[in-house]
Amino acid sequence: MERVVITGMGTLNPLGLTVDESWKNVINGVSGVGPITLFDSSPLNVHFAAEVKNFEPDKYMDAKEARRRDRYEQLGAAAAKDALASSGLEITDANAGRIGVLVASAVGGITSLQDAVITNYTEGPRRVSPFLIPMLMPNGAAGMIAIDNQIKGPCFSVASACASGSDGIGTAFLMLKAGMIDAALAGAAEVTICSTGVAAFDRVGAMSRRNDDYSMAPQPFDKNRDGLVMGEGAAVLVLERESHAKARGANILAELAGYGATADAFHVTAPHEKGEGGSAAMKMALDSARANVDELGYINAHGTGTPLNDQSETRAVKAAFGEKAYEIPISSTKSMTGHMMGATGALEAIFCVRAVCEGILPPTIHYETPDPECDLDYIPNKAREKKINLALTNAFGFGGHNAVLAIRKY
């Protein structure tokens, strides 16, 4: 079966508006966390998040069109535009039907929906925007990317909570392997930093409340971790069948070598205590890549900074790889980007591509106090130079969704 390769990448996230800027900041241990500026958070328990800074939609799309799009759709369209440009893939009438758009979102335009509900009750239904439906639907970003670029192949969104971006990339991987398409834009976009989103995640007990000193939040795998920090952003990769990429002389960045997906079937928000679903997904991704644990050089962990997640994920890695787990460097880049919900897995796939290409492994910042329950090598506080051939990126979502991607040096 033909190999799937990565030929382009684009992202806008709390660490930067380009892949290069984001990579520079992540390997230097820069935090993207700061005070919430997108809305007045004073009535809430949480006043900090990891926002995308200095984003100007008009630089990526027509100003009139930008006003008709939710922020998550704006970010998704911008990331897709940059990914296409970096790949050099030209969309034509001849190939448009053989290219897919698999850009996911866990919740879609929650900010637009929240604002419309307020408008409906305060000003009446006639004041609700006629553009509300395309602004809130989770497939909105995918559809708009297809329209922007006249892509006419399969186009849809995957919704699997925090695993959405990885599942979107994984779905494109399977479609490329099956020969259904020749290329795809795959990834995710997410913006949940609004009063409803922050309040909801806080009420479920998932968020850090270190308002007086958020400089050390979040703290993945640290004994004193107290919850996630909400992030936002988008990340899109251009995937191609190897023969297609070679035929057009593309610059191949890395191989998307494997994909694994499982369900915990355990609890709607809590991960399985023993990490059984995550462990199975990691082994499935390695099997899909026709690799073994000796080839695995790095794991970009889900690592949210919540007490249950980090403990469960540590157990999952041990269950998957036994004593070898102690030899595998692991890090949580969410310690810098925050948790971009459905979009995080797609961004972390980009980080894995750069890691295998450049031989630098991002750190887990804010790591101070070891937790006996989390006793693996989490690359504390400083990036590590290490040549690797294969990396995994984990994404585990509410509902028990587990998705793992394997990325190999090309």
Q: Which amino acid is at 133?
A: I
* Nearest Cα to Cα of residue 86 among 291, 262, 308, 239: 239
- Please give the Cα distance from 93 to 276 (Å, whole number): 46
Which pLDDT does position 274 carry in this prediction?
A: 74
Selected catalytic residue, list 339, 352, 366, 401:
339
Question: What are the extents of the domains in the chain?
Answer: 4-247, 262-408
Q: Does 267 participate in catalysis according to the annotation?
A: no
- 339 catalytic? Reply is yes
Structural fold of domain 262-408: Peroxisomal Thiolase; Chain A, domain 1 (3.40.47)
Does 272 qualify as catalytic in the annotation?
no
pTM: 0.97
Name the catalytic one among 155, 162, 194, 374.
162
8-24 pLDDT, tens digit per residue, is 999 999 999 999 999 99
Query: Which of the residues in the chain have pLDDT under 50?
Result: none
Q: What is the pLDDT of residue 269?
A: 65
Same fold, 4-247 and 262-408: yes
Copy the structure tokens of residue 147.
């329209």
Neighbours of 298 (CB within 10 A): 26
Choice among 302, 352, 366, 374 that is catalytic: 302
CATH assignment, 4-247? 3.40.47.10
